[in-house]
Amino acid sequence: MRRDFSLAEAALGDLSLIKKAALLVAGTLLIALAAQVSVPMFPVPMTLQTLAIMLVGFTLGSRLGAVTLLAYLAEGAMGLPVFASGNAGLPYMMGPTGGFLLGFVAMAWIAGLASDRGWTGSLIATIAVALVASAVIYIPGLAWPAAMLGTDAASLWASWTAPFLLGDAVKAVIAALIVTGAFAAMKRTR
């Protein structure tokens, strides 16, 4: 089933400026709260931050999703404790995980673009999009410590990638289940 609109547009109709502003605030709040949730997992605990980012992208579409992430980063830059473990501020953002923070914008944009273009019509397609969106954050995420700290490829894999892949895959599947379930529920009620 092809859809050319986001989940928010399907649920709320035309998005006025006020609706968009409310969705942006709700999206940044969702991400900030999800960043504080740590789920025990092997080999490292995972936060629900990227799950929330994917949901924001899928729900709000590419443009509003990306703008919501930019607002989230601005909140963190201003010192609001929105990042994992309540971290905030420019020094934190310039630290070793700064590239991942930048990648969050791309993650939301990719998930939103898929939603905008109707590429989330099936669970399998939505899982594929969520996995791609999850993988994209590793580009700036790994480039940042490589450039800033001189981290070699083996260390980037062992410390910055491999421990997080299982959690990223789990969150991609959960996001896809939520989004396709929400569209299916809305279709049944109409």
Residue 1 lies in a domain: no
| pLDDT exceeds 90 at position 188 | no
Asked, for residue 132, whether it belongs to a domain, the answer is yes
Range of the domain at 13: 7-189
pLDDT at residue 112, rounded to an integer: 96
Average pLDDT value for residue range 95-116: 95
Report the pLDDT averaged over residues 161-166. 93
Domain membership of residue 2 (yes or no) is no
pLDDT at 63: 96
**Res. 190: pLDDT tops 70:** no
Tokens 């083996």 found at: 154
| CATH number reported for the structural domain that contains residue 53 in this entry | 1.10.1760.20
Q: What is the number of domains present in the chain?
A: 1
Give CA–CA dist 42/133, Å, rounded. Answer: 22
For 28-51, what is the mean pLDDT? 92
As a residue count, the chain comes to 190
Phi-psi region of 125 (alpha: psi -120 to 50; beta: other; left: phi over 0): alpha
Structure confidence at residue 43 (pLDDT): 75
| DSSP state letter for 84 | G
Residue 12 pLDDT level (bands cut at 50, 70, 90) = confident
Q: Which two tokens stand for residue 67?
A: 């703008």
pLDDT reading at 2 higher than 70: no
Given a cut of 60, is residue 3 above it in pLDDT?
no
Identify the H or E element spanning 97.
Answer: none
The model's confidence at residue 4, banded by pLDDT at 50, 70 and 90, is: low
pLDDT tens for 120-144 read 889 999 999 999 999 999 999 999 9
Give the model's confidence band at 1: pLDDT under 50 very low, under 70 low, under 90 confident, else very high: very low
Over range 39-67, report the average pLDDT.
93
Cα of first residue to Cα of last residue in the chain, in angstroms, is: 16
Report the alpha-carbon angle 152-158-164, nearest 5: 125
Residue 109's pLDDT band, with cuts at 50, 70 and 90, is very high
Tokens of residue 142, six digits: 């790994």
